[in-house]
Structure 1
């Protein structure tokens, strides 16, 4: 993200990114989870976006509401009005707009929007621009989704999710212009980070939940680490026990 180290500066402290908020303390992809992650010192909060039946971007990883909300319906068959009926105390399925506003309320923090496919891209970007939040969000996801983002948003910050040990081909990088290559942590080595830097890319990685993994990744020169345990990651990056 804009506050991240340049690819050549491996001595800088990596960004601490909260995976779906603070899911060990609050249900993932909810506003209490996002707010808890910010309070724990996250530099950015990663969230997943799906579209409701009325084409409103909301925070949800799965295509159905079953796992988190005990409702077997697919999210694309439920309206935002119907979603409100699923509220469980302080917990509800938030809209993307609500999440952007929650993060924008904290200085210098950002929202990392994970898009698995191109379908939600246009509606997502519409919300971002309506709120004037172009500089406070970034995007991650696979090639097809990120190409759709780039077509709508020439200046958007992109982390290309990448699950192969070899680097992307140059033609793809020229079209997509990502700032980050975003592999799972098992692929990250000092050699991988160096190869990415040779292509002008920083490395962001996910999802590290053990201290020893966090320390190993930090020492490879990555620019961003995503974790479900944001307070632990914050303490590792800050050199605290």
Structure 2
């Protein structure tokens, strides 16, 4: 993620890595997305029982790892035993290291609630990676991030056709408004510009949708098909 004010090229953001090639929110998925040309990789964070931020979207391990336990009841050591071949549930620190090893790439951390915010920010600052990460999520989670990190880049996830109230924007100071792609129109992006906001959007997987979003003025597009998105933004077939 980066500042859109001078209308730089649209940013290509990989949704949970490269999930059509590798399991979402794993290191191979993150690394594949970076190799495909992602400007940023979006990941989800949950906390283990011992408070370690790890990459996982769901509250339980059932869907991806076949284990019904909530991740909050599993320690990091126990989680490390949960393997599928070479795949494991990575820590956020491992993902940060993978992204910062690629020049200019960034990590977009999606927080659905305020709970993981403090441990997540501690992991980022512990690696000195403050300038290589951004955050997205609903207002409650992003307000928790802002309280911890006055200068952090934030994309406020927003599911309404009208922009948030001015008071919320003043408190949160987001760099982007982050609606689902169905809400992004030229009028929406114009209103965001007038409010001093860039527009990031999710999750576009069809070429025609990607092209429409670019034409509507989106600054950042998130996709499960990062290679396709990269080709569309670069004007390649």
Q: By the TM > 0.5 criterion, same fold? A: yes
Q: Name the counterpart of 1:219.
A: 215
Question: Which of 111, 117, 124 is the equivalent residue of 1:115?
Answer: 111
Question: Which of 198, 201, 207 is the equivalent residue of 2:197?
Answer: 201
Aligned runs of 1:55-134 on 2, under 5 Å? 55-134=51-130
Give SS of 1:89's match.
Answer: coil
TM-score normalized with structure 2 length: 0.99
Give SS of 1:103's match.
Answer: helix
1:154 matched to 2:150: yes
Distance of 1:85 and 1:99 partners within structure 2? 19
Q: Which runs of 5+ in 1 are unaligned?
A: none
Q: Name the counterpart of 1:164.
A: 160
Q: Which runs of 5+ in 2 are unaligned?
A: none
Deviation at 1:108, TM superposition (A): 0.2
Could you say what the CA RMSD is over the residues aligned between the two structures, in angstroms? 0.7
1:38 matched to 2:37: no
1:112-149 per-residue CA deviation (whole Å, 9 max, x = no partner) reads: 00000000000000001110000000000000000000
Deviation at 1:87, TM superposition (A): 1.2
Aligned length: 237
The runs of 4+ residues in structure 1 deviating greater than 4 Å are none
Distance of 1:123 and 1:86 partners within structure 2? 22
Give SS of 2:120's match.
Answer: helix
Give SS of 1:116's match.
Answer: coil
Deviation at 1:5, TM superposition (A): 2.3
Distance of 1:167 and 1:230 partners within structure 2? 28
